[in-house]
Amino acid sequence: MKILFVMRHGGYVRNYEGVLRQLAAEGHRVHIAVELDRNKMGEDIVGQNLAREVPAVTMGRAPVPEDGVWSRAARVDRLLIDFLRYTHPQYKAATGLRTRAERTVPRTFRPFLHLVQRFGAAGGALVTGVLRDLESVIPLSVDVTEFLRSQAPDVVLVTPLVDPGSIQVDYIKSARALGIPVALAVASWDNLTNKGAIRVVPDKVFVWNAAQIEEAVTLHGVPRDRVVATGAQIFDHWFSWKPSRTREQFCETMGLDPSRPIILYLGSSSFIAPNEAGFGLRWLSALRSSADEVVAGANILIRPHPSNATQWAGLDLEQWPRTSLWPPAGADFFAPEFKHDFFDSLYFSTAVVGVNTSAQIEAAIVGRIVCTVTSSDFTHSQGGTLHFHHLVNGGLVEIARDLNEHAAHLGVMLRGGGEQAERSRRFVEYFVRPFGIDQPATPRLAAAIVDLGSHPVAKDNPDTAVTRLARQLLYPLAWFVADMPDRRPWWVYVLMRPPLFLFVQAWALPYRLRNAALAVPRLSKSWAREAEKSTRRFVLDPWKEGVKRVRNRSRYLVHRVRVNTRVIGARVLRLLTR
Amino acid sequence: MSFKTITMRFGRRRVLVARPNGRQYGHLGLEIVMSLASARKNGADVYLVRSDTPLGGGLFELESPDVRVLRPTPLVRELFRTCISLRKFRERVDDWREEFREHVEQEFVREATRYVTDPGMPQEIRERMRGVRGRLRASLERAMRDKKRRPTYYMRRLLREPVPVHLHPAAHEDAARQAIAHGIPPDAKLVCIHAREAGYKSGAEIQDTKPDDGRDDTARNARIESYLEAADELVRRGYTVIRLGDPSMTPVNRPGVIDLATSPARTNLLEVYCLLRCAFIIAGESAYVNLVYLTNTPILLVNATEPISAYPIRGPGLFLPKTVIDKRDGRRLTNTDLVSFEYHRQLRDRRRYLYVDNTPEEIRAATEEMLDWIDGRWTESPGQRTYHDVIMTATKALWPRSGYVRKWGLDEGFLGDGRIARVALGTQ
């Protein structure tokens, strides 16, 4: 079987490495097609290494839909749908997510979105419905369809699909039109709640657990029978890992005191915690000045989020004894030694602290629950996101209202309380391995992909008579919309551009006629001269004359208005003074 | 943007009529003192037109021995109000018309560019459009030059010389009574403190109203807890510390500190009374930075996000910048970086910069230096002198490029007589 896996960039290979290896081991061929070359944090290298190691896996670029009126209009349509999903009542408190989604929408369309928002969830749902219908009018991308034809896969997978205005929608549409089964592999725990919408429903959606099934059904309108839970394959290797060194060796490397317990701070991404280092200093200060000696004297290890690490680099942590920042700024977080450091740091820590990050799930696998504290810095990213509730509902986090309460929670953890093992195991069964803690997700997902590819699916017809008619009728709108997202005020599109366009075209017409006449190669020189003369006589001169007359006439009219106003004014004045 | 007043003549008497900003407390105080200073300079009386908001009631109770502040009859008051309203209306219409014209011209230039660069357009049309575009661009450049020539808003030179003020007797008596009720002894030595918090302008700050600008004024916020070590030192030296602010702030419960901000009986009059009486104020970038020039209160400005607008006009006056970290590379910005164009281009943009509050130790050290200055024991260090020269040079260089610096920076070559706190130089 040939599997085509379309990814936003090579970094997603990390999430599916085990599955790709398993598929290859089963004798299937996999081609990874990435939309973007991205190597900021070594994203592409993982895929390239995999392709080098496993001959059945290849990697290349995915074509981007050709530029044109429809593709540009499609992007706008998708961005609007992505924003409008946040009008759903469940997102009432999600101000941060809404603002982020709004920023991706071209400015010109934002007043329209604000207007729709006024009508609440019902208005949002109605407009989203219309926009989804418009998506079906948008024609298939020729380049994408050709690419799929040339690859001739038995199954197409896309991930993450929910990026703002994603072009992976075109892959789903083209695959369905060609009769190739297509599925969305949900890449992470937050993908269905805090990114864009699933604008076109694929044949299957592979999710981790029951909670994500509900999200796919209620938030994205995917029919329940198309959603398949397989567990979180991305964490499978965590269940078999062992620490790479002894506790003493680990503490020596990190500059910590091995005789004291370790509190591990797990950093969050820049969206979740944009000013995390500032909070981190307050947090450190609160712990070090805690009345609880065990908390105040504990080792503190800070592990920044890979994408949000630089802000920590400028802090002077030397003033805090037994405090370490690891990996240091500038390190490759995904280098093998740092991956093991991460496991070791969780394994040897007694208490874990975090705001809202997937590393908290990894902590659960290692048998730790996570202490967190509500702070105004994180209002948008804790209560204001839906995926944080998975941690809360799964009983993984110990939430404190302030830093004093938080220090008290840590004190309990450091003394061996908090039922960490039991609570983290329950969470893992709920969220990571819903089929049993000893049931890995990788074989399940691989089997689900193979199963999808072995059942033929009906072809979609994207060119029905109704669709073609609608396409013709909506083309002017698409043309208008496609040209709009260039960050100009709306009145330019309505009041300035159309009249100016008409004016310039009318102005250019005689010159165009003349140029056309001059350009006819079959005409002899004299004919050409004659034609030019005629053009001048019958087109250019009357045009100039006409312009002159209109100008004079309008000047005269203005003059008359002025004179009459003056005369009437004088008469009124005379009447009043008589 | 500049603050405008009108001067009216009544026989030989001249009256300067001003309507200070009624929506922002700091601007209100600043515009009152600028009106008083202008009137003193021109030998005029002053009439201050109050806006409909109840903001800063205590400030309108101030009087000055140098300038007569008029409290006219209702009829005359209405006359002044009408005059200034008409003037403001005319200015607003002019500004709006100017802005609209510029906006249309700008957009027309962009539209014309579409045709100029369109190879399918006949050459003659492209030439003509290019000509039109050139004329419009010249007009826009002219308008930009005119804008740069406008007088600065923050009249630092005018504010350099204090205008003596006091509360009028009835208000003073009332304020003194309130102070005693709050436990402020009449003979106590006072120091005020204020840490800007998010509650006062919640939902109405620049990041809420203009989210695309990138400016985030929460960068100016700080935590009152970091002031408490300095407060303890002041109490130890016999001062009573008054915490100013609004009721949404974190309450402070500390020996020797009177939390006026969260007191249910707080009034603006009492706040003005405290400002007039106190030896100095420790405040962040908030209304008090401007208000102190009206009440003639020396200021120690802590947690400053940039040194130019924060630069104290009068001495004694110190400022202490926050630690700023560039999130792109984790680099800690030096004091010189804080006056660079690169930094001012994305000033208070928390997506780019991380603002770390001053530590309690830094604030305490700066407070001790301020006490030395107040007591006449302070001498300028070579580092402070050098930084003053650096900031003067940098401000001159930034002036043509940054609207913010034009508004808050140099005024006729003068920035201020204050200095950066020594502790800020020590951390570099």
CB neighbours of residue A122 within 10 Å? 9
Residue B427 has pLDDT above 60, yes or no: no
Q: Which of A117, A122, A126, A125 is nearest to A95 (CA)?
A: A117
| B222 is a domain residue | yes
| B364 is a domain residue | yes
Domain that holds residue B409: 168-426
Q: Do A511 and B350 touch (CB under 8 A)?
A: no
d(C-alpha A566, C-alpha A572), whole Å? 10
A373 plus A321 within the same structural domain: yes
A552 plus A573 within the same structural domain: yes
Lateral strand order in the sheet of B281-283: B257-259, B239-243, B189-194, B281-283, B299-304, B317-321, B419-420
Winning range, highest mean pLDDT, from A93-107, A485-499, B173-187: B173-187
Question: CA-nearest residue of chain A to B214?
Answer: A103
Is residue B227 helix, strand or coil? helix
Tell me if the bond preceding B316 is cis, omega within 30° of 0: yes
Q: Do B328 and A310 touch (CB under 8 A)?
A: yes
| A469 is a domain residue | no
Span B271-309, pLDDT tens digits = 999 999 999 999 999 999 999 999 999 999 999 999 999
A114 plus A247 within the same structural domain: no
Total domains in the fold of chain A: 4
B135 plus B180 within the same structural domain: no
- Within B254-298, strands assigned E span 257-259, 281-283
B177 plus B145 within the same structural domain: no
Hey, what long-range contacts does A201-207 have (CB within 8 A, 24 or more apart)? A201/A226, A202/A158, A202/A172, A202/A175, A202/A176, A202/A226, A203/A176, A203/A452, A203/A457, A204/A228, A204/A448, A204/A452, A206/A230, A206/A445, A206/A448, A206/A449
pLDDT bin (cut points 50, 70, 90) of residue B428 is low
Lateral strand order in the sheet of B331-332: B331-332, B323-326, B353-356
| B42 is a domain residue | no
Q: 0.95 exceeded by the pTM?
A: no
Q: List residues of chain B with CB under 8 Å from any CB of chain A.
A: 103-104, 107-108, 110-111, 115, 121-122, 124-125, 129, 198, 211-212, 223, 323, 325-332, 350-351, 354-357
Handedness of CA B420, B421, B426, B428 (dihedral sign): negative
A254 plus A227 within the same structural domain: no
B101 plus B218 within the same structural domain: no
Which CATH number covers residue A61? 3.40.50.2000
A117 plus A225 within the same structural domain: no
B328 plus B422 within the same structural domain: yes
Total domains in the fold of chain B: 2
Q: Among B103, B221, B354, pick the best mutation site for testing chain A contact (most A Cβ within 10 A).
A: B354
Of A112, A133, A154, the position where a domain reaches its end is: A133
Tell me if the bond preceding A243 is cis, omega within 30° of 0: no
B319 plus B384 within the same structural domain: yes
B183 plus B285 within the same structural domain: yes
CB neighbours of residue A548 within 10 Å? 10
B138 plus B265 within the same structural domain: no
A117 plus A183 within the same structural domain: no
What are the residues whose beta carbons fall under 8 Å from the beta carbon of B10, sequence distance 6 or more? Answer: none
d(C-alpha A526, C-alpha B167), whole Å? 96
B100 plus B232 within the same structural domain: no
Looking at the complex, report in whole angstroms how far the Cα of residue B424 sits from the nearest Cα belonging to chain A: 15
| B371 is a domain residue | yes
Q: Which of A74, A75, A119, A81 is nearest to A101 (CA)?
A: A81
**Partners of residue A205 on adjacent β-strands:** A184, A227
B256 plus B140 within the same structural domain: no
Handedness of CA B27, B33, B35, B41 (dihedral sign): negative
Distance between start and end Cα atoms, chain B: 35
Of B117, B149, B181, the position where a domain reaches its end is: B149
| B89 is a domain residue | yes
Is residue B46 within 8 Å of B59, Cβ to Cβ? no
pLDDT bin (cut points 50, 70, 90) of residue A336 is confident
* The predicted structure's pLDDT at residue B191: 97
A168 plus A47 within the same structural domain: yes
* The predicted structure's pLDDT at residue A479: 84
Question: CA-nearest residue of chain A to B225?
Answer: A282
A290 plus A192 within the same structural domain: no
Span A263-321, pLDDT tens digits = 999 999 989 998 899 899 889 999 999 999 999 999 999 999 988 888 888 888 888 88
A86 plus A124 within the same structural domain: yes
A307 plus A363 within the same structural domain: yes
Span B28-49, pLDDT tens digits = 999 999 999 999 999 999 999 9
| B162 is a domain residue | no
| B120 is a domain residue | yes
Looking at the complex, report in whole angstroms how far the Cα of residue B370 sits from the nearest Cα belonging to chain A: 26
d(C-alpha A208, C-alpha A537), whole Å? 77
Of B121, B149, B177, the position where a domain reaches its end is: B149
B261 plus B189 within the same structural domain: yes
Lowest mean pLDDT among A44-53, A437-446, B409-418: A44-53
* Cβ-nearest to B330 among A275, A311, A488: A311
Q: Exposed e or buried b for every residue in B341-368, given b needs 16+ CB within 10 A? A: eebbeebbbbebbbbbbbbbebbbbbbb
A379 plus A275 within the same structural domain: yes
Domain that holds residue A274: 237-432
d(C-alpha B406, C-alpha A298), whole Å? 51
Handedness of CA A13, A19, A22, A23 (dihedral sign): negative
A331 plus A405 within the same structural domain: yes
Q: Among A99, A492, A493, pick the best mutation site for testing chain B contact (most B Cβ within 10 A).
A: A492
* Cβ-nearest to A278 among B115, B328, B356: B356
B202 plus B350 within the same structural domain: yes
Of B149, B184, B211, the position where a domain reaches its end is: B149
Q: DSSP state, B20? A: -
Span B318-355, pLDDT tens digits = 999 999 999 888 899 999 999 999 999 999 998 899 99
Q: What is the mean pLDDT of chain B?
A: 92
| B6 is a domain residue | no
d(C-alpha A109, C-alpha B150), whole Å? 36
B325 plus B296 within the same structural domain: yes
